[in-house]
């Protein structure tokens, strides 16, 4: 079913995922942002009518407590219980990410740093009948742990408000939920309108217009990342279970026709077994056509000479999700430098991270794991330097500071120090 390639041959396929031409989208998004920035709610309401055919107003843009409670009441207890258990794991995991303040004093000179949360965060949640309450948990709970005071959510309007996403938002303590979506929602969060408060950080997935809008407003606000289609890379030896590996590859393929599912293995017989399992399992999927197209476009199996070689190739790809389905995953972990999240062994499949383990599933894609991390408490924190010198410590340093400032011809800097030496 999938091509089985030898290491070093035809590997450009692994790096060939097409890039969407965003030039036309970019111009449209720039116009939307400029209009919302200039005209606030007036532009926001007009674009909502144009794109969502919804009459938005000051009276209905914000969900009422009654609407929220009504939505939550529709969620079955079994789902709420599962969501709360996932929430507990996510909170516990992200609490461990909280950094500690650090100060050092030497000869009267104290330096260090403190961490402070941003004041407000905006979460974008896609609309429609597809519901991703797990993404609400993943975006909101790290902000709660970090200490963000105001967390607001925007989601496209319509007659149908998905109870699961609304329930997840309430469970996380989201302050306000607004009926607005698309690039106009991102612009509203970035610049603020009469209805929507300005955010310091914007996070959450969305379509191409949302992604381009986040890129455009970055700098005015912080963002989580510019995420592309999902991807999974699995390194497996002959100790792995072919059915497990095939199921995990399909778990990503069903996301998107542009998703990539890649297997690196040292065993050709195992590669053939995975191909057979993929064919059998594909037929049972509700999103069969999407998964099939994804595998046809970007599904790949590569035969490697060794696990070390597989790790080397994995590091070049820097995948969003990496599974180590090998006999000694802890040993192989030492070879891994770049990945969004790493899943160890046969019983740590990628969906465990998507929903329940507590680690965040908002992860860097398209090889950006080479230089970036997944969403976490640090997305909502700032590190602030603190400098506290005694007079004696300052005077001992003064001559060096004056020398360096003078070299750069910044005489006011030098004078700022010199004037304190004359008292």
For domain 229-370, the CATH architecture is 3-Layer(aba) Sandwich (3.40)
* Tally of CB atoms within 10 A around 73: 9
Q: Which residues contact 398 (CB under 8 A, 6 or more apart)?
A: 417, 418, 420, 421
Structure tokens at 135: 């993404």
SS3 assignment, position 299: coil
Cβ–Cβ < 8 Å for 86, 352 = no
Q: Please report the pLDDT score of residue 10 as a whole number.
A: 62
Give the Å distances, CA to CA, from 61 to 27, 81, 155: 27, 30, 10
pLDDT at 19 > cutoff 80: no
Q: Please report the pLDDT score of residue 158 as a whole number.
A: 74
Q: How would DSSP label each residue in 43-76?
A: HHHHHHHHHH-----TTTSBPPHHHHHHHHHTS-
| Sheet containing 176-179: order of strands | 176-179, 150-155, 120-124, 201-203, 222-223
- Is 321 buried (19+), middle (13-18) or exposed (0-12) by CB count in 10 A? buried
pLDDT at 418 > cutoff 90: yes
pLDDT tens column, 89-102 = 999 999 999 999 99
Q: In 182-297, at which residue ranges do the beta strands (DSSP E only) sit?
A: 201-203, 222-223, 231-236, 260-265
**Helices (H) then strands (E): counts for the chain:** 16, 14
Q: Please report the pLDDT score of residue 122 as a whole number.
A: 98
Cβ–Cβ < 8 Å for 2, 275 = yes
Between residues 388 and 16, which one has the greater pLDDT?
388
Mean pLDDT in residue range 27-31: 96
Q: Please report the pLDDT score of residue 13 as a whole number.
A: 66
For the chain, the structural domain boundaries read: 23-223, 229-370, 390-421
pLDDT tens column, 135-167 = 999 999 999 999 999 999 999 997 667 899 999
Mean pLDDT in residue range 277-285: 96
Q: Which residues contact 73 (CB under 8 A, 6 or more apart)?
A: none
Mean pLDDT in residue range 48-64: 95
Q: Which of 8-12, 211-215, 327-331 has the lowest mean pLDDT?
A: 8-12
pLDDT at 129 > cutoff 70: no
Rounded Cα distance between 267 and 239, Å, is 10
Rounded Cα distance between 360 and 134, Å, is 10
Query: What is 23-223's CATH topology?
Result: Rossmann fold (3.40.50)
Q: Please report the pLDDT score of residue 228 as a whole number.
A: 84
- Active-site residue (options: 254, 320, 323, 350): 320
| C-alpha closest to that of 236 among 269, 213, 260 | 269
Q: Is 320 noted as a catalytic residue in this protein?
A: yes
Rounded Cα distance between 144 and 128, Å, is 26
Q: Please report the pLDDT score of residue 23 as a whole number.
A: 80
Rounded Cα distance between 19 and 1, Å, is 25
pLDDT at 21 > cutoff 80: no
Q: How confident is the model at residue 6 (pLDDT cuts 50, 70, 90)?
A: confident
Q: Is 413 noted as a catalytic residue in this protein?
A: no
Rounded Cα distance between 355 and 138, Å, is 9
- Give the largest CA-CA distance in the chain: 84
| C-alpha closest to that of 174 among 37, 71, 286 | 71
pTM of the model: 0.93
Rounded Cα distance between 170 and 75, Å, is 12
Between residues 90 and 5, which one has the greater pLDDT?
90
Q: How confident is the model at residue 130 (pLDDT cuts 50, 70, 90)?
A: low
Same fold, 23-223 and 229-370: yes
Q: What angle do CA 273, 230, 274 make, to 5 degrees?
A: 0
Q: What percent of the chain has pLDDT over 70?
A: 96
- Active-site residue (options: 321, 323, 338, 350): 321
pLDDT tens column, 287-309 = 999 999 999 999 999 999 999 99
pLDDT tens column, 71-127 = 999 999 999 999 999 999 999 999 999 999 999 999 999 999 999 999 999 999 987
SS3 assignment, position 3: coil
The average confidence (pLDDT) of the chain is 94
Q: What percent of the chain has pLDDT over 90?
A: 88
* Tally of CB atoms within 10 A around 247: 16
Q: Please report the pLDDT score of residue 317 as a whole number.
A: 94
Q: How confident is the model at residue 20 (pLDDT cuts 50, 70, 90)?
A: low
């Amino acid at each position: 079913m999938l091509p089985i390639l030898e290491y070093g041959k035809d590997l450009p396929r692994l790096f060939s995922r097409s890039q969407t031409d965003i030039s036309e989208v970019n111009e449209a998004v720039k116009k939307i942002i400029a209009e919302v920035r200039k005209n606030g709610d007036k532009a926001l309401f007009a674009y909502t009518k144009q794109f969502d055919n919804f009459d938005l107003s000051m009276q209905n843009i914000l969900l009422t407590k009654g609407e929220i409670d009504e939505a939550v009441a529709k969620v079955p207890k079994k789902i709420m219980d599962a969501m709360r258990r996932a929430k507990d794991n996510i909170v516990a995991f992200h609490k461990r990410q909280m950094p500690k303040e650090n100060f050092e004093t030497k000869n009267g000179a104290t330096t260090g740093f403190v961490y402070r949360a941003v004041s407000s965060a905006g979460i974008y949640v896609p609309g429609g009948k597809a519901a991703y309450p797990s993404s609400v948990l993943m975006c909101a709970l790290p902000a709660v742990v970090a200490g963000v005071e105001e967390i607001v959510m925007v989601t496209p309007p319509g007659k149908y408000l998905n109870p699961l996403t609304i329930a997840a938002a309430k469970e996380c303590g989201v302050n306000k939920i607004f009926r607005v979506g698309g690039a106009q929602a991102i612009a509203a969060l970035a610049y603020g309108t009469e209805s929507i408060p300005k955010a310091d950080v914007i996070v959450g997935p969305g379509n191409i217009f949302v992604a381009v809008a986040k890129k455009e407003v970055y700098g005015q606000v912080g963002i989580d990342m510019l995420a592309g289609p999902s991807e999974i890379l699995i390194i497996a030896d002959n100790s792995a279970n072919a059915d497990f590996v095939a199921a995990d590859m399909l778990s990503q393929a069903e996301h998107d026709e542009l998703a990539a599912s890649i297997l690196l293995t040292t065993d050709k017989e195992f590669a053939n077994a995975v191909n057979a399992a993929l064919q059998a399992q594909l037929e049972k999927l509700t999103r069969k056509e999407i998964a099939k197209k994804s595998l046809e476009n970007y599904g790949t199996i590569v035969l490697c000479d060794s696990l070390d070689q597989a790790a080397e190739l994995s590091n070049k790809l820097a995948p969003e999700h990496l599974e180590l389905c090998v006999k000694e995953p802890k040993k192989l972990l030492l070879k891994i430098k770049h990945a969004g999240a790493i899943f160890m062994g046969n019983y740590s499949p990628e969906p465990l991270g998507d929903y329940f383990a507590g680690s965040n599933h908002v992860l860097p894609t398209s090889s950006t794991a080479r230089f970036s991390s997944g969403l976490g408490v640090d997305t909502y924190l700032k590190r602030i330097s603190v400098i506290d010198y005694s007079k004696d410590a300052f005077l001992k340093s003064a001559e060096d500071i004056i020398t360096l400032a003078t070299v750069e011809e910044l005489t006011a800097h030098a004078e700022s120090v010199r004037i304190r030496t004359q008292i």
